[in-house]
Amino acid sequence: MAMEYQVEVDGETYNVRFFERDGQLHVAHAGGTYPVHVSTPLRSKVQLAQMNGKPQRFGYHRGKESTDIVLDGIVYSAEVKETEHVRLAAVAKRKGGGGASDVKAPMPGMVIAINVKVGDEVKKNQSLLSLHAMKLENDIRAPREGVVKEIAVKPNDVLEKGALMIKLGPLPEKDS
Amino acid sequence: MFKKILIANRGEIALRVIRACRKLNVQSVAVFSDADSHLPFVQEADEAHYLGPSPSADSYLRIDRIVDLAKEYGAEGIHPGYGFLAENANFAKACEAAGIVFIGPDSGAIDRLGDKRHAKAVAEEAGVPVTPWVKCAGEADKETVAAVESIGFPVMIKPSAGGGGKGMHRADTLEELTELLPKAAREAKASFGDDSLLVEKFLPTPRHIEVQIVGDTHGNVLHFFERECSLQRRHQKLLEETPSPSLTPEQRKKICQDAVKIAQTANYSNAGTCEFLYDEANGSWYFCEVNTRLQVEHPVTEQVTGYDLVELQLRVASGEKLEIKQEQVRQTGHAIELRINSEDPFMNFMPSLGYIEAFSPPEGEGIRVDAGYHTGDSVTQFYDSLVAKLILHGGDRVITTKLAKQALRDFMVVGVATTIPFHLNLMEHPDFVAGKFDIHWVEQHMAELTTRNRSADAAVMAALMEYRRLQKVRAAQSRAGELAFDPWSSSSLPRLK
């Protein structure tokens, strides 16, 4: 049965499709279509695979937020979604104006300033707060339009990666 | 030889000392903090005793506790490793007072050579060149200004009692010097409990070359050749190699003799390292300081000379005479040590803490891994970030570099980010291949050393694993649906033994 995924790594989105042909699993993506075979059990943190006839060894760890792949010592954090789910979510969002969404800290850091307050209506890409991390101030912007439902942090808070910062709710229904 | 010694350290270096103990039939006693209770060095030692809470100040820096444990469990000597109490003269004195052998130089030598100002006086007495320098207080008074101007800017301000690059400041102008001196004095006081400073001529593009020495208590001193340690980031070494690609055979002979002269002048015993700054442009070097301990990077020396430096430490500390002749010590082939730190090179080398999901070091001829962790251990915030040292030894520098690349690709660490990708980029860089670098080179080339070029492959692998996971879940679900009763998986039937 064919399955298609949208994978986000290092800010890029990749489309990856799997299907069986002649009893052999194949992968299709922008880099080509070829057979893949994995010889290690799923639970193994070190995976051995044959991809396009070449042996590949990589580290694998499935975390809560993302899947980590370790390749040439580099940790790649990948967000894997079924393309079908992404499509359904987009439809739902169009219909309902979007559900709630959490804005989380993309990296560990300290909150410098909060630029919105609860109840504010924000546009997509509007600045929500600034986070000091890696010696730089990082502007955290709204991933979509919505209403600020909750602000879970205050200035000078030191956050871990993935900490909830702001909850956005759907925009109120407008009488048109 | 000792019957039993205590190791006042942790991680890979504690394991390293345990290995030498086994070889010499010496019982080893490990001491550990809360955070370290499950680490390999605790399991591997013949005995292990609890030292104290996780912060170093409550455990590995507790002189009284460590000496008491040594007495209680009958250790005749204490090996301090590196870091923590390794260069603390008070610790050496406390051991001496308790009748326990401090496996290192005597406290007097640590006092004399651990203080940079005294060390330079020793070098001057030995007739070894030092960088022009003046001692100074925490303010730019007339005397200080005149002295510094006679050296000429740029200069480096250093704490007299310091080490490891802490509290060092560069001043390019008199204004900067005036501003930085009080700050440097405060930092020196806070870090080392001593606010005395020295100001030294700053060489813009030097290499860091050091010479390994070992002395016994009968007046013999040997050198074990040099190590090239120029590849550093913020004064922290990332790669060490021997022989240095920048010395001619004549220079090598001379710099090693200089190190022996310093050690002889200081009446030095046990293992130590003389550090030099080498000005490649004019072929001259200046003595900086003596590290009065075993160095992190000692394995490269062991690989090319074939001598076990920790074994030699134990032998000379127990009073044995060095039976080796200088001309027997030779450099064979080339060795490189790569420090595998749990730091993320793509996040400005931020420490990467947490659970190690998988730790699978490379194996093979010419590959040595000194590691302090296994799969299932945690890297905590309490101690340094060194997870393992990958040491390669081959016939020459080209062969060793090639071996390093393969070993780095095979080295699998899952759960924490490491410096492995930094080293892979470094091994490929033309300047590294040509041996052309100085102590600032890494920081000037950081962008080229931190490239990520396999995100597309990683995306395919991540999707592949998700696909397999889903297949497995579906297969389990369908089995559960099809088979109402499976005698092979039922727990209600008696089991065959």
For residues B335-349, average pLDDT: 96
Residue from B430, B431, B368 nearest B400 by CA: B368
Residues A72, B424: C-beta atoms closer than 8 Å: yes
Spell out which residues of chain B touch residue A9, defining contact as CB-CB under 8 Å: 455-456, 458-459, 462
Contact by Cβ (8 Å): A15, A29: yes
One of B293, B315, B339, B368 is an active-site residue; which one? B293
Q: How confident is the model at residue A64 (pLDDT cuts 50, 70, 90)?
A: confident
Residues A7, B462: C-beta atoms closer than 8 Å: yes
Domains observed in chain A: 2-82 (3.30.700.30), 98-169 (2.40.50.100)
For residues B369-375, average pLDDT: 97
Across the interface, which of A56, A80, A107 has its CB nearest the CB of B466? A80
For residues B440-457, average pLDDT: 95
pLDDT tens digits, B167-207: 789 999 999 999 999 999 988 888 788 888 989 888 889 99
Across the interface, which of A14, A18, A135 has its CB nearest the CB of B456? A14
Spell out which residues of chain A touch residue B454, defining contact as CB-CB under 8 Å: 71-72, 74, 76
* Residue B293 annotated among the catalytic residues of the structure: yes
B215 forms bridges with which residues in the sheet? B221, B270
Contact by Cβ (8 Å): A142, A128: yes
pLDDT surpassing 80 at residue B496:
no
pLDDT tens digits, A79-120: 999 998 888 888 776 665 555 688 888 878 889 899 999 999
Across the interface, which of A3, A73, A76 has its CB nearest the CB of B455? A76
Looking at residue A124, what is its pLDDT? 85
Residue at token pair 């947490």: B354
Sort B29 into a burial class: Cβ within 10 Å, 0-12 / 13-18 / 19+: buried
For all residues of chain A together, what is the average pLDDT? Answer: 88
Residues A71, B468: C-beta atoms closer than 8 Å: no
Q: How confident is the model at residue B115 (pLDDT cuts 50, 70, 90)?
A: confident
Tell me which of A4-13, B144-153, B436-445, B452-461 is least confident: B144-153
B198 forms bridges with which residues in the sheet? B135, B158
Contact by Cβ (8 Å): B239, B335: no
- CA distances from residue A168 to A117, A146, A152, B231, B323 in whole angstroms, order as listed: 11, 6, 11, 47, 75
For residues B233-255, average pLDDT: 96
Spell out which residues of chain B touch residue A71, defining contact as CB-CB under 8 Å: 454, 457-458, 461
Residue at token pair 């070829």: A34
- Residue B376: closest C-alpha in chain A: A45
Contact by Cβ (8 Å): A67, B468: no
For residues B57-70, average pLDDT: 97
What tokens appear for B237 in the block? 């070494």
Domains observed in chain B: 4-103 (3.40.50.20), 132-201 (3.30.1490.20), 207-449 (3.30.470.20)
Between CA B23 and CA A127 the distance in angstroms is 63
Across the interface, which of A3, A5, A69 has its CB nearest the CB of B458? A69
Residues B460, A51: C-beta atoms closer than 8 Å: yes
Looking at residue B497, what is its pLDDT? 41
Contact by Cβ (8 Å): B8, B36: no
Residues B466, A71: C-beta atoms closer than 8 Å: no
pLDDT tens digits, B393-409: 999 999 999 999 999 99
Measured in angstroms, the CA of A135 and the nearest CA of chain B are apart by: 9
- Residue B470: closest C-alpha in chain A: A3
Looking at residue B336, what is its pLDDT? 98
